Structure 1
């Protein structure tokens, strides 16, 4: 069987600099080693929130595809370079069999997806959508969203082979506004390392357990205060995401701030900034920032558990086999934790609890039994949904219940799609 040539688009996978030339077999450039403010600002512009990398890499890690003829590309960057939608259409149709849109919490009032809608409008190549979701609850009318987002969602509903959304709330809302092909499939990053997620179990470190946290410490809010109060008496490390840029700019051009080789952020430089912002003592032992997912996962593997209000920070830990508790403060995170039965708690329900109180009450054998049962069901639906369109996942079949041979029953339409001369 000829494997599909796939173009993955929308979210980044790393901090490599995209090559703007046109040489075959060329590779992108790695980030510079020097941790100057200028380099940090440019690196951050490639990923924005480093949690996006987890979504961006997900399906390219697990699809069976023609890897030498597949790639990642942000379509909106081509528009910014002056490419017309028609030129984008023609080049994609020439080089790829399938386009995969990897999305995040893009369904919200303050986010206009019009530029992406312009690129999608002319596409003639088959495409699939995964991971799109709502940031917060919305009234049941599509006109709540910016016009560009309305156009894009209608095109996804009308033209996508798969219109995959994050969870049931997003699915229900889209059905309410007349976009009935939306299907809750979860965030695809949860399917990358099923062997590790299914092996997660309660931590055994007791009161001496090492914890990892992530949050929004540059935002002086109740959620930040609750997070730091949880770790007053715990051995804990804090992993920054998009707040690292604020810290770097506050330190101006002090290159002692960040060690690019290890991901370590100097505690004596960043802690006073956080404490000044929040007006509270910060309990974390060390601070980290990772621009590479493998380094992030390796660091997480040393910990006993994760507790934080960054959803994808918790998923990185689970990909490394570490149990996670997810704190949520909006529909986006709650929808995902509910969909996969992940251990979770709302900011409002934390009260005076400490980290180890939540570990004892939420990271139980029963909780992980429920998670594993739910996870296998979700993975099974995900595999079958892609299989209906002739797309296979390079995942050991022991982790889901679909029979491998069912995936090989590729329909006539799929043969026509990948074998252009087939009749």
Structure 2
């Protein structure tokens, strides 16, 4: 099976030097990241570093086949070239499109509609999900409706992040739809199970080496969380995903000033963001562009806790216990599908004694039931791939 993999990439996309027709040339090195401008440029390339886990999971599950990652930007730029698409249609048997929250009112999938209209092969849309349930059916942009119409009229398969997305796509007339969860869930099953087995431990509420994630620059929630759980002498470790481009976490230094230490993954330049004055703990801001480096760093943490799905999933891949605070519909859909324990943000935010609440919550987790549910989801994912021929 010759697979054209596109859409959300793994971190290896950073080595793509050029693409011509169906040929992708990779450099044997990564770009340098040291200055403010280099740091921001790397974040912009993926928009959210958590996306690297989606692309990595999608690629990894296809490793038994002949897989070529073709950047989606190349497919989009080549839409007017009949020669390029003739070559692509000759070279590949099937296209796998790694996706995320594509179904949302604020995004019109016009380019996706054009690209998949020109690919004359079956298409597997992997990991597709919603951003927000409210008003989705009425507010979905015309480009996204066209994208769905294109796929409805060709051989296509949808592996969704959860049940609501699956129901929505069936209502739109899609023939093969199966909820499977995000592909990042199945990159390291052994690590995920170790993480789940270690979660029902109330002592984690007293952990001091915690990997935090959230939305610095927008809300102060994660700062409040760190103060509630960490001793005054502890250092809060916060992992940045897209705050540099989406949530006004800025670096008030010159563009060519040193701002990032690649070896440690730490932002070293001065930072400025809303609510930063509220910190009452020493803290470090980390950002990773290599998922292996991210996993190696997070493996040394005792606990992952936060409001970012993939910021916790990567900890689970490394076997570290992780608990998420559900802040929106996309997180709820993914968490409810796979059956991971989680706390609603509204509930957690109003708790006065957060440490006691967390310890009590952890003590009540049914470890075996959670592991069994995860195992069943993994089996379902492998079964869906097998059905498609992957």
Settle same-fold status: TM greater than 0.5.
Answer: yes
Q: How far off its partner does 1:381 sit?
A: 1.2
Q: Which residue of 2 aligns with 1:379?
A: 378
What does residue range 24-423 of structure 1 map to in structure 2 within 5 Å? 26-28=25-27, 30-67=29-66, 70-80=67-77, 82-84=78-80, 86-139=82-135, 141=137, 143-179=138-174, 181-200=176-195, 201-202=198-199, 207-219=206-218, 221=219, 223-224=221-222, 226-231=224-229, 233=231, 235=234, 236-245=236-245, 246-247=248-249, 249-253=251-255, 255-266=257-268, 269-270=270-271, 273-274=272-273, 276-281=274-279, 283=281, 285-350=283-348, 351-353=350-352, 356-357=355-356, 359-364=358-363, 366-391=365-390
Q: Is the 8 A contact 1:326 1:345 kept in 2?
A: yes
CA distance in 1, matches of 2:121, 2:172: 26
1:285-319 CA-partner distances (Å, limit 9, x unpaired): 32211110000001111111111111000100000
1:213 deviates by: 0.4
2:6 is matched with which residue?
9
Task: Render the CA deviation track for 1:24-62: whole Å, top value 9, x for unaligned.
Answer: 784236333341233223322321100010001112113
Relative contact order higher in (CA < 8 Å, ≥ 6 apart): 2
Report deviation, 1:360: 1.8
1 CA distance for matches of 2:295 and 2:365? Answer: 26
What's the secondary structure of 1:55's corresponding residue?
Answer: helix
SS of 1:366's partner is: coil
Aligned residue-pair number: 379
Deviation at 1:168, TM superposition (A): 1.0
Partners of 1:62 and 1:389 lie apart in 2 by: 13
Determine helix, strand or coil for the equivalent of 2:261. Answer: coil
- Larger proportion of strand: 2
Task: List gaps (5 residues or longer) in structure 1.
Answer: 392-423
TM-score, normalised relative to structure 2:
0.87
Q: Deviations over 1:230-284 (max 9, x none)?
A: 4453743111111135545433336343101210123x833xx24x545522535
Q: Distance in 2 between matches of 1:222 and 1:297?
A: 26
Contact 2:324/2:342 (<8 A) preserved: yes
Q: Give the CA RMSD over aligned residues.
A: 2.7
Secondary structure in 2 matching 1:212: strand
SS in structure 2 at match of 1:237 = strand
For structure 2, which runs of at least 5 residues remain unmatched after alignment?
none
Q: How far does residue 74 in structure 1 lie from its aligned partner after superposition?
A: 2.3
TM-score (norm 1): 0.81
